[in-house]
Amino acid sequence: MLRSRLLLQFIPAAIALAVFSGCASEGKRGRQMQPACAAQSTRMAGMYEYLADAGWLTDWASGKRAPVAMEADNAALERAYLGVREEPGAAVLVTLEGRIAGRPPMEGEGTREHLIVERFDQVWPGESCEKSAVATPLENTYWKLVALNGTGVETHADQREIHIRLRPEEERMTGFAGCNQIMGGYETKGNSLAFGPMGSTMMACPYLDDETAFLGALEGVTRFVILGESLVLSGDTGDLARFRAVYFE
């Protein structure tokens, strides 16, 4: 359980792990789910893959693999996964709230343990179960923008990458918004985060529309979540921007 404790230290209370094996016992027919656990819903993280019209989740803590039932919030999980996977069948780290219950298998008779997705939370492209235990701090980290309002972001050949860095010693945020350097104050407590009025340089470039969208997203930020080397900024309308930590020697 050391890995579970490590991960829980670095993921906010909104995200935790479900250990499938904690709801199982050894029987004559192998690993069996305890009846009391069938309706138990808990937060969990694991590697999700979808191929041939079937989804599977491998639990991070126990390594147990279970099929995902096509009900409840499964459709939201599938949509998010299909939007970020690099190739068909590629595994992506996800967080969600769910439970284990018996459902008919795709082939054969009887029932089989399935994961019921009660509430989908996040997909974490580029992360893995091993990397998710990395403790990346919100402050003093160079955060490169990788998605804005649900759409992937790529840096143009003639453009610097969009990024932000929160500097606690100066109590301000600095960065690059696409055309201009930006700076401004910020406040954070727990998992809440808000940016104050921002100033910027006044350079013109072909990507001012992208810059305007990025600055608008920052204005709406109210909270953040970090998992591994990924940062998600969210507001009242949902997820606004996703960043990846970049390290320099």
What type of residue sits at position 203? M
Query: Residue 48, CB half-sphere, CA atoms under 13 Å: how many?
Result: 29
Structural contact between residues 129 and 45, judged by C-beta atoms closer than 8 angstroms:
yes
Q: Please give the tally of structural domains in the chain.
A: 2
Residues 34-92: tens digit of each pLDDT: 444 445 788 888 999 998 899 999 988 778 899 999 999 999 999 999 988 989 999 99
Residue environment code for 94-113, b if the CB has 16+ CB neighbours within 10 A, otherwise e:
bbbbbbbbebeeeeeeeeeb
* pTM reported for the whole predicted model: 0.67
Q: How far is CA 241 from CA 39, 41, 112, 189, 245, in A?
A: 34, 29, 38, 19, 13
Structural contact between residues 46 and 62, judged by C-beta atoms closer than 8 angstroms:
no
Identify which of 129, 68, 115, 122 has the alpha carbon closest to the alpha carbon of residue 94. Answer: 122
Q: What is the reported pLDDT for 113?
A: 92
Please report, for the domain that includes residue 98, its CATH number.
Answer: 2.40.50.540
Q: Are residues 115 and 161 in the same domain?
A: no
Quick check: 209 pLDDT over 90? yes
Residues 89-134: tens digit of each pLDDT: 999 999 999 999 999 988 888 899 999 999 998 888 888 776 666 7
- Residue ending a domain, among 116, 131, 146, is 131
Residue 90 tokens read as: 């590629």
- Residue ending a domain, among 85, 114, 131, is 131
| Sign of the dihedral defined by the CA atoms of residues 39, 41, 45, 49, in that order | positive
Identify which of 38, 39, 21 has the alpha carbon closest to the alpha carbon of residue 30. Answer: 21
Q: Are residues 109 and 194 in the same domain?
A: no
What is the C-alpha to C-alpha distance for residues 233 and 221, in angstroms, rounded to an integer? 6
Range of the domain at 168: 136-246
What is the C-alpha to C-alpha distance for residues 116 and 55, in angstroms, rounded to an integer? 11
Residues 160-197: tens digit of each pLDDT: 999 999 999 999 999 999 999 999 999 999 999 999 99
Quick check: 12 pLDDT over 80? no
Q: What is the reported pLDDT for 132?
A: 64
Q: Are residues 164 and 226 in the same domain?
A: yes
What is the C-alpha to C-alpha distance for residues 168 and 85, in angstroms, rounded to an integer? 35
